[in-house]
Structure 1
Amino acid sequence: MTAIQGSAAAVTGAASGIGRALALELSLRGCDLALADRDEAGLQAVGAEIAKASQRKVTAHRLDVGEPGQIEDFARAAITAHPALNIVINNAGVALLGQFGEIEQAQMDWLFNINFWGTVHATRAFLPQLSRQREAHIVNISSIFGIVAPPGQSAYCAAKFAVRGFSESLRHELAVAGSPVKLSVVHPGGVATNIARNARTGTGVTDNARRAQSIERFDALAKTTPAAAALRIIAGIEKNRPRILIGNDARFMDLLQRFRPATYWKPLQRRIEKAAAKVATAK
């Protein structure tokens, strides 16, 4: 296990959503923090909120995880500020709406640079530091869409499946080498964040109603709060859980995929449409 009390953690995407909730909860449990995000105002707000509730050391770092050079700079600055840093949470991510034929290659590259390569580059940048600690932990945020793959999410699913594969293989490598570094890969289901509302749209998508419908469906499934997601991730760190599923929807989809690996989409589609219809009726 990796104890939270007395640790120091680097968290990307810390200005909002799950990252913000993680920062707040980790600080309350006695963890110092190096927080990173493109949203500098959001980072300052999180830092101020933490300062009101705890005396933990918090540093804020502007970071675009799609830029490898910035990740290297962040790692150096975070380690300098927190010499005993032993937890890295690769949380930053973006979304892209559109079927494969509606998405330009440049848009897919943009998403991959953040959602997949950002995770890989940050893991590489921090791993030497983590390997020197008595106990250390990497948390890579995938998605339930790293387990199931609905239509209209080809880019996002490809990246999140890649995060899952990278994380599982690296975890096995670390175990075989007897490394003190443990690794958890996280698969959130619907969490009430702004990722869907902030999603970019494929250049080939011309129907604005489709975007609105996609957001509405996401909202219908987003039953888990960021705070609840953060609590489950932290419990996973403490108990060294290799895979962390967040939300009843994620657990259902994981089981469905196991039982029907090639034919899960039709029953899953019916469940999603039913949930969306229920929300629409309640409005």
Structure 2
Amino acid sequence: MPWYPRVTDERLRRLCGGRPAVVTGAGSGMGRELAHRLSAAGVRVLVSDIDDAALGETVTSSPGGGAPLVAAGLDVADADAVAAYVHDVVGREGPPALVLNNAGITMVAGVHEEDDRHARRIMAVNFGGVVNGTTAFLPHLEAAGGGHIVNTSSAFGLLGAPAQSAYSASKFAVRGFSESVQKQLRDNGSPVRIQIVCPGAVHTAIARRARYVDPAVRDFVTRGFDHRLPGTRPRAAAAAILSGVVAGRDRILVGPDARALDIGVRVFAGALQRPLATITGPVFRRMIVA
């Protein structure tokens, strides 16, 4: 298990150096907890989400005594909208020190039953949102002398998951894009760091908000995800992410399941799929044909 420093208010303030932080997908789950933790440390946080009502809940539920949250509706898949948002943020607040590209959606369906339009939407949000946020903010962070861009992939960006083909594809794409930009920035001597988050199971609303072809599958998956599947709570996931950022980790693994999967993929490579299928196959077959 990697060692991460404890996340203190002072460490977070020093990380940001008086500049704001940006969190996309802040309407719930990890995004909300990341925003609240940074705000509690005294960091001014710019939060966005496509769901205005959920974003409003993030603002109103923020613990008192911290820095204010500044909210804006945003579809991260819309490159022009992201560019306009970044222009507005930098013009009003100055270049952020920390950008957390966190927005994400999913669908649970067998490959033959997938909704093609929603599969493309998943790629546009999960991967396109990361590309849009990274490319729009990067020049401003470089001009300001440095900063961190933190892109959310997934444990399913390490190993593909049945009934999650579009989601897994998007998260592999996030990891590949981010690793490529990591190397480019290092080779160029850039002061900006790209860091990749790979969460395992985190008990957010993503399973309940996923697209399902069959309502029976929705009930089966959400019951299992919410009540039977071991996982990390959003607040603990946010703490792990920020700890990894402070520690300077290139890849931040969240949860013991993500760490175990990362080791398994590194050690066994392609040979890991078959034994895992023996364990998980009955569950995923029920998800697909329920």
2:79 alignment partner in structure 1: 68
| Cα deviation 1:178-207 (Å, max 9, x = unaligned) | 111001100000000010110012xxx4x4
CA distance, structure 2, for counterparts of residue 246 and residue 158 of structure 1 = 19
Q: Which moved more, 1:233-242 or 1:162-171?
A: 233-242
Q: Hey, what does 2:62 align to over in structure 1?
A: 50
SS class of match (1:60): strand
Residues 147 and 228 (structure 1), Cα distance of their counterparts in 2 relative to 1, 3 Å cut: same
Q: Return the letter of the residue paired with 2:273.
A: W
1:139, 1:272 → 2: CA distance? 30
Residues 183-192 or 77-86, more deviating: 77-86
Residues 11, 88 of structure 1: 8 Å contact kept: yes
Contact 2:40-2:63 at 8 Å conserved across structures: no
In the aligned structure 1, how far is the partner of 2:282 from the partner of 2:233?
A: 21
1:83 to 89, 94, 106: 94
Counterpart selection for 1:173 from 184, 197, 201: 184
Measured in 1, the distance between the counterparts of 2:85 and 2:113 equals 34
For 1:10, which of 22, 30, 33 is the aligned residue? Answer: 22
Q: Kindly indicate whether residue 250 of structure 2 is the aligned counterpart of residue 242 of structure 1.
A: yes
> Structure 1 residues 257 and 43, CA, compared in 2 at 3 Å: closer, same or farther?
same
More displaced, 34-43 or 169-178? 34-43
Pairwise CA distance, 1:45? 2.7
Mapped partners of 2:34, 2:93: distance in 1: 18
Secondary structure (helix, strand or coil) at the match of 1:52 reads: coil
The match for 1:214 is 221
Match of 2:156 in 1: 145
Aligned 8 A contact 1:5 1:29 in 2:
no
Alpha-carbon distance between aligned partners in 1 of 2:41 and 2:139, rounded to the nearest angstrom: 25
**Other-structure match for 2:167:** 156
Q: TM-score, normalised by structure 2?
A: 0.86
Gaps in structure 2 of 5+ consecutive residues: 1-10, 285-290
User: SS at 2:208's partner residue?
Assistant: coil
What is the root-mean-square deviation of aligned Cα atoms in Å? 2.2
Show structure 1 runs of 5+ residues with no match: 277-283
**Secondary structure of 2:46 counterpart:** strand
Distance 2:273 2:223 in 1: 19
Give the letter aligned to residue 37 of structure 1. D
Residue aligned with 1:131, SS: helix
The Cα of 1:64 is off from its aligned counterpart by: 1.2
Report the equivalent of 1:281: none
The 1:275–1:96 alpha-carbon spacing in structure 2 relative to 1, beyond 3 Å, is closer
Number of aligned residue pairs: 271
How far does residue 258 in structure 1 lie from its aligned partner after superposition?
A: 1.8
Partner of 1:109: 120
The Cα of 1:240 is off from its aligned counterpart by 1.2
C-alpha distance in 2, partners of 1:233/1:183?
13
Q: TM-score, normalised by structure 1?
A: 0.88
Q: Is the CA contact (8 Å cut-off) linking 1:7 and 1:30 kept in structure 2? A: no
- Give the Cα separation in 2 of the matches to 1:180 and 1:96: 37
2:266 corresponds to which letter in structure 1?
A: R
| 1:197 matches 2:205 | no
Question: Which moved further from structure 2: 167-176 or 255-264?
Answer: 255-264
